[in-house]
Amino acid sequence: MATIADLRQLVSETKPEEAAAMTGELLAAGHNAMEVLEEGVMNGLNDVGDRFAAKKAIVLDLVRAGVTAKACIPLIQEAFPKGEGAKIEKKIVLGTMLSQHNIGKNLVSTLLSIGGFEVIDIGEKNSPWDFYETAEKVGADMIAVSVVFAPAMEKFTELLDLLKELKVRDKYPVIVGGAVTSQKWADAQGADGWGAQAKDGVSLARDLLKVA
Ligand code: B12
């Protein structure tokens, strides 16, 4: 019988069709969707990332890893609990800075939406100004940033500085997450919250926006 470790292996080998089929098999067998995501897909992606960092993989492998993850994730998303359907009247602007890595950002978006929040997803490669401008335009309650690429870390700091400069820092709690970030780094930048996992975005939003 298929195991989550087998799925990790297929993702690590960047085999989209086989990985998607195994994801379906694991979910049908009753495996927890979050475990399939974290221990199967994410650990497999991390394996590819580690090989890339060790110069044992090339950019094409990263591309294939992304394609493989994107073949599995919709099946996992369908298996997430649907939430209670209660809508929370809070708007969250979400996006990435510089980077085109959007798999984590998309998961944060899905989980926040399931959690009842209104997500304004501004996509990839945004500047600090894009976040500010959208937040003002839609009357956002919070800003969430996905930082998966080291050069974007500096941009995140620039976003906080911009909000301070424009005297709206207190208006928007800002949370951050992503593979290259950490609690320590987020604290040092003055972020209002950091999450290791997409699901942490929901608990951070509930706490910071005082949702009962
Ligand atoms: C797939 C992949 C790609 C794909 C992305 C496809 C896509 N559509 O997203 C492509 C091919 C585009 C790519 C390109 C590059 N990549 Co790449 N990529 C990866 C890889 C293997 C997986 C990334 C991923 O999707 N992970 C899975 C998701 C779910 O994880 P995540 O984003 O971290 O999100 C989770 C949490 O962090 C959290 N989270 C994320 N955001 C947020 C936000 C909030 C608010 C919260 C609460 C939580 C949260 O929730 C998520 C789920 O729980 C990683 C390796 C790795 N270990 O991550 C390298 C990696 C990120 N890439 C890397 C690099 C270097 C590159 C390139 C520069 C390569 C090159 N030379 O061209 C380019 C950059 C292009 C660009 N300008 O953006 C490096 C970054 C290193 C660094 N320190 O900056 C990594 C770490 C690989 C490595 N070990 O060297 N990549």
Partners of 119 in beta bridges: 92
Q: Determine the pLDDT at residue 165.
A: 98
How many angstroms does the Cα of residue 83 sit away from the middle of ligand 1?
28
Tell me the backbone φ, ψ of residue 209, rounded to 5 degrees.
-95, 10
> What are the tens digits of pLDDT across the range 25-54?
999 999 999 999 999 999 999 999 999 999
Task: Band the pLDDT of 109: cuts 50, 70, 90.
Answer: very high
> What are the tens digits of pLDDT across the range 145-162?
999 999 999 999 999 999
Rounded to two decimals, the pTM is 0.93
Tokens of 25: 């098999």
Of 148, 192, 207, best ligand 1 pocket probe by most atoms within 8 Å of the beta carbon: 148
> What are the tens digits of pLDDT across the range 68-95?
999 999 999 899 877 655 788 999 999 9
For the chain, domains (ranges, CATH) are: 4-79 (1.10.1240.10), 91-208 (3.40.50.280)
168 with 132: CB under 8 angstroms? yes
Q: Determine the pLDDT at residue 84.
A: 56
Instruction: Report percent pLDDT > 90 for the chain.
Output: 87
DSSP 144-171: EEE--STHHHHHHHHHHHHHHHTT-TTT
CA nearest ligand 1 atom 77, residue: 99
Q: Determine the pLDDT at residue 138.
A: 98
Q: Determine the pLDDT at residue 1.
A: 84
**Which 8-state DSSP code applies to residue 122?**
-
Residue 101: name the closest of 68, 134, 147 by CA: 147
**Strand order from edge to edge, sheet including 174-177:** 118-121, 91-96, 142-146, 174-177, 193-195
Q: Ligand 1: residues whose CB is within 6 Å?
A: 42, 45-46, 48-49, 52-53, 59, 62-63, 65-66, 69, 99-105, 107-108, 144, 146, 148-150, 175-180, 195, 197-198, 200-201
How many angstroms does the Cα of residue 149 sit away from the middle of ligand 1?
6
- Please name the residues in contact with 149: beta carbons below 8 A apart, sequence gap of 6 or more: 98, 99, 101, 180
Q: Determine the pLDDT at residue 114.
A: 86
Cα torsion at 114, 199, 97, 187 (round to 10°)?
140
Ligand 1 atom having least distance to the Cα of 178: 37
How many angstroms does the Cα of residue 167 sit away from the middle of ligand 1?
32
